[in-house]
Amino acid sequence: MGLFDGKVGVILGVANEYSIAWQIAKYLHAEGADLAFNHLPDKDERRRMERRVRRLVEPIGAKLIKPCDVSKDEDIQEFFTAVKDTYGKIDFMVHSIAFAPREDIQCPTLEASRNGFHIAMDISVYSLIATARAASALMESGGAILTMTYFGGERVVPGYNLMGVCKAALECAVRYLAYDLGPRNIRVNAISAGPMKTLAASAVGDFDQMLSLHRTIAPLGRNVAQEELGKAAAFLLSDLSSAVTGEVLHVDCGYNIMGAPGKSFKEFVDKLQAR
C-alpha cells in the first residue's frame, strides 16, 4: 500500500526528465498518487513542449496533460476547470515554476530591467498565489501545496541575482498563503533544494563551480540526489506532516547551516588556484 493511494495531485512545472517537478512526480506516482500535469503552450505546430511532457507522463498513466501559461489568468482557470472535470477534487499541488529573462538574470541585480523584474516576479512568485487560489478551491477536505525555492533567496549567491530576489518573495508568499489557507486545513510549504542540473539552472553562471562548492562545504560532503527531493516532497504533501505549514525545508545536505567553509574547503580552493 502506497503513501498516496487514492490521492490526486497536480504537478506544475515539468519541462523535461531533469526537472525537479518530474523527480517529485515519479516518487509520488510510485507511492500511488494519481497526477495531472501542465505543459507550456506550444508556439508552433511541432508541439515540442507537449510531446516532451507526454513522453514522460503518459507511461505513468496521467489522465490530464494540458497547456497552462501561469502568466495568464484565463489559462489557469481553464486548466483547473479541466482538473475539476477530470477528478472532481484534488489533495495536493506541486508548484515548481520560475522564470526570468536570461539577460536580466545574468546581469548584476543592479542592472536588471523593470520589465525583466515584472516578468520574473509574475511567473516565479505570483503564479504560486494564482494557482494556489485555483487549486485550493478543489481541496474540499483540506490538502497541501508545495513550491520550490533555493538558498539564494536567503543569502547572496553570486550568479543567482534577480532570481534570488524572487525566491525571497516566494518564501514570504508561502507564509502568507499558509495563514490564509490554514482555516481550511490546507497547508503550504516550500523545499529549498540544493543545486541540481536542470533547464533553469543553465541560466546561472558557472553552475558546475556552484555544485562543487556546495559539495565541498555541505556537512554531508555531497550534493542532494534527485530521489531525495521526491522523498522530502512526499513528507510535506502527506499526512506525515499534518502539523507543518508555512515552512521552508532545506534539502541540501546541510549546506545552509554553515557559517564558515567546512573541512574540505582548502582542497577546493587549491583546485581553483591550479586551474
Of the residues 18, 27, 87, 160, which is catalytic?
Answer: 160
Residue 275 has pLDDT above 90, yes or no: no
Query: Where residue 260 falls among pLDDT bands split at 50, 70, 90?
Result: confident
| Residue 90 CA to its chain's centroid (Å) | 19
Of the residues 18, 87, 150, 179, which is catalytic?
Answer: 150
Bridge partner residues of 92 (DSSP):
9, 144
Residue 219: DSSP 8-state: T
Closest CA relative to residue 63, chosen from 145, 127, 128, 8: 8
Whether 87 sits among the annotated catalytic residues: the reply is no
- Calculate the alpha carbon distances from 135 to 44, 142, 213 in Å: 29, 11, 38
Whether 126 sits among the annotated catalytic residues: the reply is no
In this structure, what are the phi and psi dihedrals at residue 30, rounded to the nearest 5 degrees?
-60, -25
Pair 142, 184: CB distance under 8 Å: yes
Buried b (16+ CB within 10 A) or exposed e, 106-133: beeeeebeeebbebbbebbbbbbebbbe
Q: Amino acid identity, residue 19?
A: S
Bridge partner residues of 250 (DSSP):
192
Residue 64 has pLDDT above 60, yes or no: yes
The chain-wide mean pLDDT, for the chain, equals 93
Residue 268 has pLDDT above 90, yes or no: no
Per-residue pLDDT at 209: 78
6-47 per-position pLDDT tens digit:
999 999 999 999 999 999 999 999 999 999 999 999 887 779
Domains assigned to the chain: 8-206+223-260 (3.40.50.720)
Percent pLDDT > 90 in the chain is: 83
Query: At a CB cut-off of 8 Å and minimum separation 6, what does 200 contact?
Result: 98, 99
108-152 per-position pLDDT tens digit:
999 999 999 999 999 999 999 999 999 999 999 999 999 999 999
145-184 per-position pLDDT tens digit:
999 999 999 999 988 999 999 999 999 999 999 999 999 9
**What is d(CA 94, CA 96) in angstroms, rounded to the nearest whole number?**
6
**What is d(CA 161, CA 10) in angstroms, rounded to the nearest whole number?**
30
Per-residue pLDDT at 269: 65
58-63: which pairs have CB atoms within 8 A and are 24 or more residues apart?
60/25, 60/26, 60/29, 60/35, 61/29, 61/34, 62/35, 62/36, 62/37, 63/34, 63/36, 63/87
pTM value?
0.93
When pLDDT is averaged across residues 98-114 and rounded to a whole number, the result is 97
Residue 267 has pLDDT above 70, yes or no: no
Q: Are strands 248-251 and 92-95 parallel, antiparallel or unpaired?
A: unpaired
